[in-house]
Amino acid sequence: MLDLLSVSRMKRFSTTFLLFLTILTGGFSQEDKITLTERKDYYQYDQDFLPASFHNARRDSLRSLMPSNSAFVVFASPERKRSNDVYYEYHQDPNFYYLSGLREPNAMLIIYKDVKNFGDFSTDEILFMQERNPSTELWNGRRLGVEKATENLSIDFILRNIDFMDFDAKLDSLRAIFFEKPLALENKNTLTSDNITGLYSAFESKNTVKMKPKQEIGGFMMAQLRQVKTPEEIKLLRKAILITCEAQNQLMREIDLDMTEYQTEAIIEYVFKKNGAEYPGFPSIQGSGENSCILHYTSNRRPFINGGLLVSDVGAEYHGYTADVTRTIPPSGKFTKEQKQIYELVVKAQSAGIEAAQVGMSFWHPGKVATEIISDGLMKLGIIEESYDVKKYFMHGTSHYLGLDVHDAGIYTPLEAGNVITVEPGIYIAEDSECNPKWWNIGVRIEDDILITKDGPENLSISSPRTVNEIEVMMQK
């Protein structure tokens, strides 16, 4: 195979420039217009994405510039870790999006100059993409999947990315293959230590002590240190949490049914910046209606007009230390009967979990207490029949450490003075759950930041309302 992009950067520039001219001179035809019905499964909240016909035309324009018997291979951007187990909000590679319209990671698009015969089918383009995964989607949001991609993207042939390992892409029969390595996969000069790759390489060459568990031991020692906060750290955490509570309060005062999820995100993050926070500690979660049942939903595009609760899970980062406070509020200003029943059950569980966060108790004890209350409550409401079914609707842990990371380092020993943890039970009843439909699409999470002291737990985020009455009163302001 020949990487002509590496051989001739001028050719790459010329190709890009000609594609740009094609856009400028081609304009949009009537067929480029899109309706919500055409792409409702993927673009269900916004109606002004580029239509599939646009991306299809761009692939054809690219083929017109490619030499005979060649292929163009483009990769989706890698997902990038921000810190510990928090990732940056995903941003697609511009070239990949331009040619495919797909906004998901873990994908590769091959565009052939001419139609190739692959035995069972013939095509001049193949997209390899990630398949649906209910477990992952519960945490991170919906995936398009091969079936819906075939309907919505107008790409001639689509396979799962795992299929590529055993697939003969006919690359060895081509005269030229145009491609670029994804930018986030760093390939630095290891002959110098002015970059992190070279620096680590130099360290490895000098390190003659090959003690196998050295990395694990180092991490364990740091976790021991970081799980107990000093007064200086607690002061910064208090500041970050106070800013976050004010943001939640401002959201309660301003929200109404004419808004969208992203407008509430703007209110939250405006208050962060206004009060001196450098960053959000993690991508702000503003999940309403059906999205309130996605634990780490961050797309934040849905309008509130269709009803439902809003789960607002946010944290300001101040001088490196991050808060993590969740409030669940009704954009209408009032909880419905069913929403109130679920909400008050979560409040009850959380209050008991906070009270259980005492010095000397197991780190997991607050979660055990909260889970038992939710299980009993769901059975009384007729949502579950057996206590073990609670995991259908409360499927995550109740606590984690808080500090320099939102999910901070720690070794999960019994609670001790100086620990800062969250207590965050929740109930998430997604559509099509095995219960009365009146409960569907009700998602509730309440999260507070708790300082463990010898005199008992201190709720550092108490300044933001958390009961039904307090929230409804605040929303009237």
Q: Is 87 one of the catalytic residues? A: no
Q: Which is the catalytic residue, given 238, 365, 400, 466?
A: 400
- Residue 82 sits at φ, ψ, to 5 deg, of -90, -50
Name the amino acid, one letter, at 414.
Answer: P
> What pLDDT was estimated at residue 247?
98
Separation CA 142–CA 415 (nearest Å): 36
Same domain, yes or no, for 269 and 416?
Answer: yes
Separation CA 93–CA 91 (nearest Å): 7
Separation CA 258–CA 249 (nearest Å): 18
* Full-model pTM: 0.82
- Residue 108 sits at φ, ψ, to 5 deg, of -145, 135
Same domain, yes or no, for 155 and 266?
Answer: no
Q: Which is the catalytic residue, given 396, 416, 458, 472?
A: 396
Q: Which is the catalytic residue, given 39, 142, 302, 445?
A: 445
Closest CA to 398 of 372, 364, 373, 347: 364
Token reading at 422: 């969250």
Same domain, yes or no, for 107 and 233?
Answer: no
E strands along 130-218, which residues? 157-160, 176-179
Q: Is 407 one of the catalytic residues? A: yes
Put residue 52 in one of left, alpha, beta given phi > 0 → left and psi -120 to 50 → alpha: alpha
Can you give the CATH number for the domain in which 279 is found?
A: 3.90.230.10
Q: Is 447 one of the catalytic residues? A: yes
Separation CA 285–CA 299 (nearest Å): 8
Q: Which is the catalytic residue, given 93, 156, 290, 324?
A: 324
Whose structure tokens read 């057996």? 386
* Sign of the CA dihedral running 52, 59, 157, 108: negative
Same domain, yes or no, for 335 and 444?
Answer: yes
Q: Which is the catalytic residue, given 31, 60, 80, 85?
A: 85
**Residue numbers of the domain that contains 283:** 228-475
Same domain, yes or no, for 237 and 142?
Answer: no
Same domain, yes or no, for 247 and 118?
Answer: no
Q: Is 424 one of the catalytic residues? A: yes
For residue 202, is it within any domain? no
For residue 239, is it within any domain? yes
Q: DSSP secondary structure string, 58-81?
A: HHHHHHHHSPSSEEEEEEPPPP-E
Helices (H), 356-453: 365-380
Q: Is 32 one of the catalytic residues? A: no
> What pLDDT was estimated at residue 178?
87
Q: What is the DSSP letter of 447?
A: B
Same domain, yes or no, for 279 and 336?
Answer: yes
Choose one of 112, 147, 179: the last residue of a domain: 179
Helices (H) and strands (E) in the chain, counts: 13, 18
Same domain, yes or no, for 427 and 282?
Answer: yes
Put residue 432 in one of left, alpha, beta given phi > 0 → left and psi -120 to 50 → alpha: left
Token reading at 332: 């209408």
Separation CA 30–CA 39 (nearest Å): 17
- List the chain pLDDT tens, one digit each, 477 residues: 333 333 333 333 333 333 333 333 344 334 333 333 344 444 468 778 888 998 999 899 999 989 999 988 888 888 888 888 898 888 988 888 889 999 998 888 999 999 999 998 999 999 999 999 999 999 999 999 999 999 899 998 999 988 888 888 998 888 888 887 776 655 556 786 567 566 667 666 655 544 444 445 668 888 998 999 999 999 999 999 999 999 999 999 999 999 999 999 999 999 999 999 999 999 999 999 999 999 999 999 999 998 999 999 999 999 999 999 999 999 999 999 999 999 999 999 999 999 999 999 999 999 999 999 999 999 999 999 999 999 999 999 999 999 999 999 999 999 999 999 999 999 999 999 999 999 999 999 999 999 999 999 999 999 999 999 999 999 998
Q: Is 324 one of the catalytic residues? A: yes
Same domain, yes or no, for 348 and 452?
Answer: yes
Residue 86 class from Cβ within 10 Å (0-12 exposed, 13-18 middle, 19+ buried)? middle
